[in-house]
C-alpha cells in the first residue's frame, strides 16, 4: 500500500465507521421503508448564471469506497457530512437498483420540481457517473434517458466521471440512452499533470495514459472532454503550486482537451491539507520552512491564485483561452469549507481579489491580470507573502518538500511506528535521474 493511501485511510477512519454502521443498520430495514426514507431527500443544487449544478444523491464516490474501506483522493471531501445517508443508500442500491434509481431521481425532483426549467448548461451528476455501480443503468436512464427531467432540453448536458471509467462500452451505453441529445460534455478530475505526484500525493489512482485514452474516446463519440486541475496542491509551496498548475494546463492542452476547469484549493476537514491544518499548523519543522502557517495552513494565498492564472495567460495564451476558474465561494459547496485569503481574512484585499476572480469568468477582461499582478506590492499583505516565499525556498524541489511534510505527517499519525510508514514514502521517490518535478 502506498504512503498516501495509508494516510487517507487514517483521515477517513471515523467517517468509514459512520458510513458502514449506517449501511449495516439500513440492511436490516425493509426495502420499501428504505425507499420511502430516501425518496424524501433533497438533492444539493447550486444555480449560477447560465449554469445549474445538480449533485444527485447517490451512495457516494465508488473510488473512495473501492476496497470496502473509505479512502480516495487526498484533496477531496464531498462526502464526510453525508456519510450516514450515503451508507444507507448503499444498502438500498444493493437491495433494489430500480428503487435506488427512483429515490435518487426523486431527490432531483424534490429540489428542482418535475419538468424543471433548464438553464443553458445543466450539470447533472453523481461522483462517477460512468461507474455503473454508483449509477446503475436504471439510474442513468432516469437521469439522462427519455423520461425528461426538464420542460425543454438544456443546450449542454455536463456529466462528471472518473477518466478511468471512460470506456468504449460505457460511452456506447450512454450514447444510446442519451439518444437525441446533442451537446454532452464529460468532466473528470486530472488534478495534476504528473503521474508520480497524482499517484503518490493526490492518491488519484489514475495514470496519464488513461486520461489520454479518455480524451480520445470522448472525441470519437462526439463528446466534449473537460479536465479539472488544482490551483494549490496540499502541502506544497506557493511557487510549486503555481508551476504545477501551469504545467498541468499546458499538458492537458497538448493532449487535445476541449476545456480546462481550474479549481482553487479550499480546505475541508477530511482532506490531507485539512489534517495538516488540524494537527501540524504549529509544527516547528514545518513553520521554519513555511509549510505550516498557523491559521493559514492548507489554503493557497489569493496572490498565488491570481499569479497562477496570470502566468498561464502571459506564457500560454492559447491554453489560457480554454481555461475557466470555478467560483471562489464557500457556500457553493456541499461540505463545510474555507477558501484562500492573503495575510489576514479581515484585510479588504480578500474581497477585492475574490470578486475580481469571480467576475473575470464573465467579463473576460483578461488583460487586467497583467495589471493586477503588477500592483500586488501595493497591498499591505504582500510583505508577508514575500517573506513566506523566501522561507519556502528552503524546501528544495517537490520531492524534497513532500519528504519534509511526509515525515511530520508520519510522526503525527503513526506515532511510535512512524518510521515504517515514512520509509514507504522515501522508497517511492524516484532516482534523481528519473525525477520530473
Ligand atoms: S476527487 Fe472524485 S474520484 Fe476522487 S475521491 Fe473525490 S469524488 Fe472520488
Ligand atoms: Zn491584504
Query: Given ligand 1 and candidates 76, 165, 337, which is best to mutate, with the most ligand atoms within 8 Å of its CB?
Result: 76
Q: Which ligand is nearest to the CA of 352?
A: 2
Q: Residues 47, 120: contact at Cβ < 8 Å? A: no
Torsion angle of the four alpha carbons 404, 304, 344, 396, in this order, in degrees rounded to the nearest 10: 20
- Beta bridge partners, 262, equal 229, 325
Q: How far apart are CA 157 and CA 122, in angstroms?
A: 5
Q: 317 lies in which domain range? A: 3-434
| Predicted local confidence at residue 87, as pLDDT | 98
Residues with CB under 6 A from ligand 1: 61, 63-64, 72-73, 76, 78, 127, 162, 189
What is the per-residue pLDDT across 25-58, written as a single tens digit (0 to 9) for each?
999 999 999 999 999 999 999 998 889 999 999 9
**What's the structural domain count of the chain?**
1
Q: Which domain CATH number covers 65?
A: 3.20.20
Kindly state the cell numbers that stand for 204. Answer: 488519484
Handedness of CA 303, 337, 6, 166 (dihedral sign): negative
Q: Are 280 and 297 in contact (CB under 8 A)?
A: yes
Q: Which residue CA neighbors atom 3 of ligand 1 most closely?
A: 63
pLDDT digits (tens, 9 = 90+) for 392-415: 999 999 999 999 999 999 999 999
What's residue 170's pLDDT? 96
Q: Please state, in angstroms and rounded to a whole number, the distance separating the CA atoms of residues 38 and 86.
A: 10
Backbone dihedral region for residue 360 (phi beyond 0: left; psi -120 to 50: alpha; all else: beta): alpha
Low-confidence ranges of the chain (pLDDT < 70): none
| Cell numbers standing for residue 85 | 445517508
Q: Give the single-character DSSP code of 406.
A: H
Q: Which residue spans within 232-329 are E strands per DSSP? A: 259-264, 323-325
Q: What is the pLDDT at residue 283?
A: 98
Report helix, strand and coil shares of the chain as percent, to nearest 5.
55, 10, 35
Q: Output the CA–CA distances (angstroms, integers) from residue 143 to 126, 174, 185, 266, 423, in the order listed.
A: 10, 11, 15, 29, 47
**The pLDDT of residue 326:** 94
Amino acid at each position: 500500500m502506498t504512503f498516501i493511501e495509508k494516510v487517507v485511510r487514517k483521515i477517513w477512519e471515523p467517517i468509514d465507521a459512520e458510513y458502514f454502521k449506517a449501511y449495516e443498520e439500513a440492511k436490516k430495514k425493509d426495502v420499501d421503508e428504505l425507499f420511502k426514507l430516501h425518496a424524501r431527500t433533497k438533492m444539493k443544487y447550486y444555480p449560477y448564471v447560465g449554469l445549474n449544478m445538480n449533485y444527485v444523491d447517490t451512495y457516494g464516490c465508488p473510488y473512495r469506497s473501492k476496497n470496502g474501506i473509505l479512502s480516495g483522493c487526498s484533496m477531496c471531501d464531498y462526502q464526510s457530512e453525508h456519510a450516514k445517508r450515503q451508507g444507507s443508500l448503499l444498502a438500498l442500491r444493493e437491495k433494489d437498483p430500480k428503487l435506488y434509481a427512483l429515490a435518487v431521481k426523486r431527490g432531483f425532483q424534490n429540489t428542482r420540481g418535475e419538468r424543471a426549467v433548464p438553464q443553458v448548461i445543466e450539470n447533472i451528476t453523481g461522483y462517477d457517473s460512468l461507474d455503473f455501480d454508483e449509477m446503475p443503468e436504471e439510474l442513468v436512464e432516469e437521469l439522462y434517458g427519455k423520461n425528461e427531467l426538464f420542460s425543454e432540453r438544456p443546450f449542454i448536458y455536463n456529466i462528471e466521471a472518473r477518466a478511468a471509467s471512460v470506456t468504449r462500452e460505457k460511452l456506447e451505453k450512454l450514447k444510446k440512452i442519451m439518444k437525441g441529445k446533442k451537446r454532452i460534455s464529460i468532466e473528470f478530475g486530472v488534478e495534476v499533470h504528473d503521474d508520480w505526484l497524482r499517484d503518490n500525493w493526490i492518491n488519484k489512482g489514475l495514470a496519464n495514459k488513461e486520461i489520454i485514452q479518455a480524451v480520445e474516446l470522448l472525441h470519437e463519440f462526439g463528446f466534449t472532454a473537460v479536465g479539472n486541475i488544482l490551483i494549490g496542491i496540499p502541502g506544497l509551496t506557493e511557487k510549486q503550486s503555481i508551476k504545477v498548475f501551469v504545467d498541468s494546463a499546458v499538458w492537458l492542452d497538448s493532449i487535445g482537451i476541449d476545456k480546462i476547469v481550474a479549481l482553487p484549493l479550499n480546505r475541508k476537514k477530511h482532506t490531507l491539507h485539512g489534517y495538516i491544518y488540524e494537527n501540524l499548523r504549529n509544527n516547528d519543522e514545518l513553520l521554519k520552512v513555511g509549510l505550516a502557517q498557523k491559521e493559514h495552513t492548507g489554503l493557497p494565498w489569493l496572490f498565488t491564485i491570481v499569479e497562477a492564472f496570470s502566468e498561464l495567460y502571459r506564457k500560454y495564451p492559447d491554453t489560457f483561452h480554454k481555461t475557466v476558474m470555478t467560483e471562489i465561494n464557500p457556500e457553493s459547496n456541499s461540505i463545510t469549507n474555507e477558501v484562500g485569503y492573503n495575510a489576514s481574512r479581515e484585510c479588504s484585499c480578500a474581497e477585492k481579489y475574490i470578486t475580481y476572480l469571480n467576475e473575470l469568468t464573465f467579463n473576460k477582461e483578461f488583460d487586467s491580470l497583467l495589471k493586477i499582478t503588477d500592483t500586488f506590492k501595493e497591498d499591505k499583505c504582500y510583505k508577508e507573502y514575500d517573506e513566506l516565499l523566501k522561507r519556502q525556498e528552503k524546501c528544495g524541489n517537490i520531492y524534497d518538500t513532500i519528504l519534509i511534510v511526509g515525515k511530520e505527517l508520519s510522526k503525527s499519525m503513526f506515532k511510535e511506528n512512524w518510521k515504517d510508514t515514512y520509509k514507504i514514502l522515501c522508497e517511492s521517490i524516484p532516482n534523481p535521474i528519473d525525477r520530473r518535478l
